[in-house]
Amino acid sequence: MVRLSPGGEELCRVEVPFACPTMVCFGGADLQTLYITSARAGRSAAELARYPLSGVVVSVPVAVAGLPEPGYRR
């Protein structure tokens, strides 16, 4: 996962323990925690053997606060 400048320059790189990240969002009181979800369903046995943490959610502290996700209403 990378953070890019508006001009496309790589500013930060976050290594994740899986091959297929699916979504990201910011959380925590200061919005400086990046949550990254990953896929497990449909991944090959070889990929799951190489990346046994596929399907988990990881949290990573980041230096720059993100934006909150809009709430969901029914």
pLDDT above 90 (res 70): no
Beta-carbon contacts of residue 18 (< 8 Å; ≥ 6 apart): 38, 39, 51, 53, 54, 55, 56
- For residue 29, pLDDT over 90 is answered with yes
Task: Dump pLDDT digits (tens) for 35-69.
Answer: 999 999 999 999 999 999 999 999 999 999 999 98
Amino acid at 31: L
Ranges of each domain in the chain: 18-65
Percent above pLDDT 70 for the chain: 100
